[in-house]
Amino acid sequence: MRSSVQTTSPPLASLLLGRGAPVLVFDVGGTDLKFGDVDEDGRFTHRGTTPTARGSQEEFLDQLSGLVATYQSKPVAERPRAIAVNAPGIVDADAGVVVSAVNLGWSNFAVSAALKARTGLPVVLGNDVQMAGLAEHRLGAAKGLRNALVMVIGTGIASAVILDGEVYDGDGYAGEIGHARMEPLASTVAMPCTCGASGCLQTMSSASAIARNYAAVSGVPVEGAKEVMAAAEAGDPAAVGVLNQAFDGLALAIAQSVALLAPQAVIFGGGLSNAGDALLLPVAARLESILSFHRRPLLRSAHFGPLAGLIGGAVQARRLLCKEQPTGGRQTPSPWRD
């Protein structure tokens, strides 16, 4: 295996997806490409991280094909039989096309067909946050729930909507709660968002926004939201004000989701979720003041952290194989079979 592939480490080492076909997962980020394979026993055996090839689409496909080849050099029984690719942005999973991934400069990139042509393996494409949500739903903090919202709060804010036991993707457009406008239309203080609109939730409540807004208010640059939380804990009024605005935004957005979808739980992932109760308790207090007859969702931290996408992709790749099994043919044992 190439040097960037390491034997996996906790928490993946102890995770069991159940028996099934070996599969390979790529979790594509704007900076890094995470990858890993799951064996027949459902264990991640080798995984790694390498900078994402950001040149042309051909260069990216070359990178993935090269990594697939290293896994295909394993003994036959251990070779992956399907590939999952998680991409950021708007993903048409049925067509296997990344409709738009601004961070990577992609539009209408038919990843599944191109990678299948190069490797001969079936490929399933998904949105990275939705695959993280699938992992939390099948094996993590939302396990056993029929309806849940998984919010990933980091540089931006995105969510996976679990409805009736499945991730609802809205043809690739669902879950973009970070780009729901939170400011009144007449607001003169709505901040511009990277999406081109203004007043979006993530301009006030993402981890990046908390750091940026604190620096703007206090004149003190900080590296991240963690420092702002520490400053608020120490009584810094600027930090308290910025965090209040961030928590207000999250609570309002969640309250609207609760009114519309009645999730049994809201699961917080991404960098900001590392704050634990320092995030959950202020949001819970605000929700209590906003909601009336609505069902109160449980608020929980995500279980898998930055590895959730790999896990969700593995689940999805195995499901792809199950769907492709011919009726009456040899069945692949899998706990994920519908």
* Residue 43 or 179 with smaller CB distance to Zn ion: 179
Q: How far apart are CA 42 and CA 68, in angstroms?
A: 19
Looking at the DSSP assignment, which residues form a beta bridge with residue 86? 27, 126
Closest approach of Cβ 196 to Zn ion, in Å?
A: 7
Task: Find how far residue 130's CA is from the centre of its chain.
Answer: 5
Q: Got the DSSP string for 74-133?
A: S-GGGS-S-EEEEESSEEETTTTEEEEEGGGTEEEE-HHHHHHHHHSS-EEEEEHHHHHH
Closest approach of Cβ 205 to Zn ion, in Å?
A: 12
Size of the site for Zn ion (CB under 5 A): 5
Q: According to CB under 5 A, which residues from 61 to 100 bind Zn ion?
A: none
* Residue 102 or 280 with smaller CB distance to Zn ion: 102
Query: Residue 251 in contact with residue 283, Cβ under 8 Å?
Result: yes
Closest approach of Cβ 178 to Zn ion, in Å?
A: 7
* Residue 193 or 265 with smaller CB distance to Zn ion: 193
* Residue 69 or 197 with smaller CB distance to Zn ion: 197
Closest approach of Cβ 91 to Zn ion, in Å?
A: 18
Q: According to CB under 5 A, which residues from 248 to 277 bind Zn ion?
A: none
Q: According to CB under 5 A, which residues from 161 to 190 bind Zn ion?
A: 179
Q: According to CB under 5 A, which residues from 189 to 228 bind Zn ion?
A: 193, 195, 197, 200
Q: Reply yes or no: is the peptide bond before residue 11 cis, omega within 30 of 0.
A: yes
Looking at the DSSP assignment, which residues form a beta bridge with residue 106? 101
* Residue 91 or 209 with smaller CB distance to Zn ion: 209
* Residue 77 or 189 with smaller CB distance to Zn ion: 189
Under the binding rule (CB under 5 A), the answer on residue 102 touching Zn ion is no
Closest approach of Cβ 197 to Zn ion, in Å?
A: 5
Neighbours of 285 (CB within 10 A): 12
Count CA atoms within 13 Å of residue 150 on its CB side.
Answer: 34
Closest approach of Cβ 39 to Zn ion, in Å?
A: 40
Find the distance separating the first CA and the last CA of the chain, reported in whole Å. Answer: 34
List residues binding Zn ion (CB under 5 A).
179, 193, 195, 197, 200
